[in-house]
């Protein structure tokens, strides 16, 4: 297992830093633990953000969540990722689950009719 510290600043971002964000990698699976301000840019320096398998938020303080906004915009409006599948109900456990929108209860976000 590898853990990369993307950000560890307090509630305000250090110069050239980022608030809480940790990239956890094991056996080809990548998880982002927290996505505080500045983390999305740091994540992009290490990997393509569309290849992230999961994001877990430890708690709902702004310094742990603010970069979910630009991350969601990138997933929603990046031309190569239209539309983004978003399952309802349980969280997806594999890439196959994430890419499938044919199972009951699944829907696509940002899809235009």
Distances (CA, A) of 48 to 90, 102, 103, 112: 25, 25, 27, 25
- Residues belonging to the chain: 113
Residue of 27, 63, 67, 97 with catalytic role: 63
Q: What distance in Å separates the CA atoms of residue 92 and residue 74, rounded to the nearest whole number? A: 20
The structure tokens 């899809």 sit at 111
Pairing of strands 29-33, 54-56: parallel
Dihedral over alpha carbons 25, 31, 32, 33 (to 10 degrees): -100
The structure tokens 């539309």 sit at 83
Clarify whether 63 is annotated catalytic.
yes
Residues labelled as active-site residues? 63
């Amino acid at each position: 297992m590898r853990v990369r510290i993307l950000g560890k600043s307090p509630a305000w971002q250090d110069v050239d830093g980022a608030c809480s964000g940790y990239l956890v990698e094991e056996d080809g699976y990548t998880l982002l633990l927290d996505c505080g301000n500045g983390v999305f840019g740091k994540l992009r320096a290490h990997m393509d953000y569309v290849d992230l398998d999961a994001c877990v938020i430890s708690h709902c303080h702004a310094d742990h969540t603010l970069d979910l906004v630009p991350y969601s915009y990138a997933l929603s409006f990046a031309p190569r990722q239209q539309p983004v599948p978003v399952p309802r109900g349980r969280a997806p456990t594999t890439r196959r689950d994430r890419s499938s929108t044919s199972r009951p209860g699944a829907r696509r976000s940002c899809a235009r009719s």
